[in-house]
Amino acid sequence: MRRDRLAAALAAALACIVPAKASEPPRRIVSLNLCADQFVLALADRDRIVALSRLATDPAISAAAEAAKGLPQTGGTAEEVLSLNPDLVLVGPLDRLGTARILAARGFRVERMALPATFAETQAEIRRIAALIGHPERGEALAARLDALPLQLGRMPAALPYERRGYAAGPTSLTGEVLARAGFRHADQGAAGLGRFVPLEAIVAARPDALVVSETAARAADHGSALLLHPALARLFPPERRVTLPTALTACPGPALAEAVEHLAEARRRLP
């Protein structure tokens, strides 16, 4: 009975919440997605961020983990979000379907993030989110930073972005565009679409100048990462020919892309 009374009281309290008008700049922003977190932290006033996702402060996957420290986080349930009384809720391309449906049914403004596949699409999404937040000028500045990345001149060493289980993102992928902007030539120009499985034998035969990996662990954490420690790769790609591109810089197509390009450009200059 007591639990029923508490539930009824909570429902009554939530029913009294009145969403803000969509025409007004949001003052209470909630992000329920790792990538949305990074857009919000880059574009919104800090005092207008009511909550971020639970992944916001994880440095392994969040490029904005440091900036997210000290801000509240939410598990993303409808009950939690309703109690925060937001006037803008950002969700990922495919996640929080139930939560988004409940919030929208109650009149709250829910915006679903896009999943950009190119720098141009990333810039368009930056501008869109900046306009939603009420700071289009910040979106323009951030989009311009991607355009302002210096052209890398000189030799273009061949590099293969090699991931778990032998998968390599192709030259037309977002990772491929990051490589090109940093001054690398993709070693698998024949890859169709976003990429493909690249056998170990093909790497040994092609002998690219560098292997781009997300981590440089001395021991394999699981079967998926064991291939990266194969003796043949160890001989061909000693530490000085392995370029580490942290997952946090590429997990989300957004503000961190400029840092990813700058990180790879610096690594390119250090190659033997």
Q: Domain range for residue 98?
A: 24-146
Of all residues in the chain, the percent with pLDDT exceeding 70 is 84
**Residue 230's pLDDT is what?**
85
200 and 141 both lie in a single domain: no
| Domain-embedded: residue 82 | yes
126-156 residue pLDDT tens: 999 999 999 999 999 999 998 887 666 667 9
Among 146, 177, 199, residue at a domain's last position: 146
Residues in the chain: 272
Question: How far is the CA of 74 from the CAs of 54, 56, 67, 78, 93, in angstroms?
Answer: 6, 10, 16, 10, 18
| Domain-embedded: residue 177 | yes
The model carries a pTM of 0.84
What's the average model confidence in pLDDT over 206-231? 78
Cα–Cα distance, 7 to 24 (Å, whole number): 32
